[in-house]
Amino acid sequence: MARLSWTALLVAALANTGAGLSIARGLPRPTWKLLPTGTTARFRGLAPVSDKIAWVSGLGGTVLRTTDGGLTWASVGPAPSESDNTTALDFRDIEAWSADKAIILSIGEGNSSRVYVTGDGGASWTRSFTNEEDAAFYDCIAFESPERGMAMSDPVDGKIRLIETLDGGQSWNIVESAGMVPAEDGEAGFAASGTCLATTAGRWYVAAGGVNPSRIFRSGDGYTWDVSDAAIAGGEGAGVFSVQFRDAEHGIAVGGNYSDPTGNINNAAWTKDGGVTWLPATAFPDGYRSGSAWVPGRGFCNTALAVGPSGSDFTLDGGKFWHRFDNGSFDSVECVEGPVCWASGEKGRVARLVLT
Ligand SMILES: *[C@@H]1O[C@H](CO)[C@@H](O)[C@H](O)[C@H]1NC(C)=O
Ligand SMILES: *[C@@H]1O[C@H](CO)[C@@H](O)[C@H](O)[C@H]1NC(C)=O
Ligand SMILES: *[C@@H]1O[C@H](CO)[C@@H](O)[C@H](O)[C@H]1NC(C)=O
Ligand SMILES: *[C@@H]1O[C@H](CO)[C@@H](O)[C@H](O)[C@H]1NC(C)=O
């Protein structure tokens, strides 16, 4: 059952305020409806446009697109050529504006970090960025408007590296690093769900890990940055995997330890002051979580989802209490107007959840 009455959940949750949220027995629980893609690629890249149109991307240079709500999928990735073997690439992040326009980011060392753009539904792709810096490793890409976007790399010369486009991804420039605060030794982002870089209301955020405590960087313009402790346990392969804001003040962050998929301590935090102060969740998501998403729309303003290899959780209070609702493995989640949420992950898994 893919439908769920969130109004009923909300009423049940409010009735339990104080004692911690516990969802009353007998109410419908959200359930992902799996949408077979016919492939086994791992899709960490996810970009729904509407309840009908969505793009996923991942290993093997794979990009799939549906225009019928996930009933059928077309393979629309860049065609490998002799001079550009895109089959070797892993498109860990994708942004899309329609069934025609999308931008994909491949991750990896050296020239494996690349950006490709399509304006015709994937019939043709143009490579618009190829990394030339040895130390760079791009993790995530995000757009604040159809024109302005940035991509984020692990530190180069001791600072998180950013590139910027002002023309919808056609051309890219390295952002001057003077306004970026220094990274700590071992600090880096996670190319796990396309949400280690986020932008809302003109502000920018970078989620990082590799050090303890893990940290979240923030900027009012993408050029001048500050950083705060994230209240999420960090270390090797551990830290903040995903940061998302619903407005200029309210944000959630999730993560944990990639090597400990069911570890459920200190793996989520929330803020109400734009990321200056992060507080640990009161009830954590039930395992390491790689992706998170706010649910848009009236009546959902404090609702968000988190996904990871050991399951999915929701919060109805802006990230303080998380409740597991599914045990399936996903890496990425994103919601669009409707509201409709989409999730994607390993073994070609894609799913959808219609909220009512
Ligand atoms: C392209 O890359 C794939 C995956 O790494 C590899 O299996 C294949 O042999 C490569 N093709 C060419 C023509 O180099
Ligand atoms: C990437 O680098 C390899 C060798 O380091 C080179 O053979 C290949 O042509 C380069 N590809 C692109 C697209 O620049
Ligand atoms: C992550 O989990 C693995 C497996 O349990 C453990 O060996 C490692 O120490 C953990 N790392 C951190 C930073 O907690
Ligand atoms: C998830 O798995 C656990 C342990 O097997 C089980 O107790 C729980 O009911 C499951 N939750 C859901 C939402 O399926």
Distance 153 CA to ligand 2 centre (A): 19
Distance 189 CA to ligand 1 centre (A): 27
Question: With a 6 A CB cut-off, is 235 part of the ligand 3 pocket?
Answer: yes
Ligand 4 pocket: which residues have CB below 6 Å? 324-327
User: What is the H or E stretch that residue 251 is in?
Assistant: strand 251-257
Residue 87 is predicted with a pLDDT of 97
Structural domain span for residue 202: 3-355
Distance 83 CA to ligand 2 centre (A): 8
Distance 66 CA to ligand 3 centre (A): 38
Atom 10 of ligand 2: nearest residue by CA position: 111
- Asked whether the whole model's pTM tops 0.85, one would answer yes
Mutate which of 1, 23, 327 for ligand 4 pocket (most atoms within 8 A of beta carbon): 327
Residue 208 is predicted with a pLDDT of 98
Distance 108 CA to ligand 2 centre (A): 13
- Assess whether pLDDT exceeds 90 at residue 5: no
Which of 161 and 7 is assigned the larger pLDDT?
161
Residue 3 is predicted with a pLDDT of 40
Average pLDDT, the chain: 93
- Assess whether pLDDT exceeds 60 at residue 221: yes
- Assess whether pLDDT exceeds 70 at residue 270: yes
- Assess whether pLDDT exceeds 60 at residue 25: no
Please compute the mean of the pLDDT values over residues 227-252 and round it to a whole number: 98
Strand ranges (DSSP E) for 49-144? 54-58, 62-66, 74-75, 91-96, 102-106, 114-118, 126-130, 138-143
Ligand 4: atom nearest CA of 324 is 13
Token output for 341: 């949420």
Please tell me the total count of domains within the chain: 1
Q: What's the distance, Cα to Cα, between the start and end of the chain in Å?
A: 12
Q: What type of residue is 145?
A: S
Distance 63 CA to ligand 4 centre (A): 32
DSSP per residue, 1-40 = --EE-HHHHHHHHHHTTTS---PPTTS-----EE---S--
Please compute the mean of the pLDDT values over residues 303-312 and round it to a whole number: 98
User: What is the H or E stretch that residue 202 is in?
Assistant: none
Pairing of strands 33-34, 102-106: unpaired
Query: Which are the contacts of 70, defined by CB distance < 8 A and separation ≥ 6?
Result: 35, 54, 342, 350, 352
Question: With a 6 A CB cut-off, is 257 part of the ligand 3 pocket?
Answer: yes
Residue 28 is predicted with a pLDDT of 59
Of the candidates 207, 246, 199, 240, the one whose C-alpha atom is nearest the C-alpha of residue 223 is 199
Atom 4 of ligand 2: nearest residue by CA position: 111
Please compute the mean of the pLDDT values over residues 260-286 and round it to a whole number: 98
pLDDT band at 319 (very low <50, low <70, confident <90, very high): very high
Q: Which ligand lies nearest the alpha carbon of 82?
A: 1
Distance 151 CA to ligand 2 centre (A): 21
Of the candidates 21, 42, 52, the one whose C-alpha atom is nearest the C-alpha of residue 313 is 21
Atom 13 of ligand 2: nearest residue by CA position: 84
pLDDT digits (tens, 9 = 90+) for 170-205: 999 999 999 999 999 999 999 999 999 999 999 999
Please compute the mean of the pLDDT values over residues 29-53 and round it to a whole number: 96
pLDDT digits (tens, 9 = 90+) for 131-170: 999 999 999 999 999 999 999 999 999 999 999 999 999 9
Please compute the mean of the pLDDT values over residues 254-262 and round it to a whole number: 98
Question: What φ, ψ does residue 123 adopt, rounded to 5°?
Answer: -60, -40
Distance 42 CA to ligand 3 centre (A): 23
Contact 184, 231 (CB under 8 A): no
Question: With a 6 A CB cut-off, is 198 part of the ligand 3 pocket?
Answer: no
pLDDT digits (tens, 9 = 90+) for 54-84: 999 999 999 999 999 999 999 999 999 999 9
Q: Which ligand lies nearest the alpha carbon of 328?
A: 4
Residue 169 is predicted with a pLDDT of 98
CATH at residue 90: 2.130.10.10
Which of 289 and 17 is assigned the larger pLDDT?
289
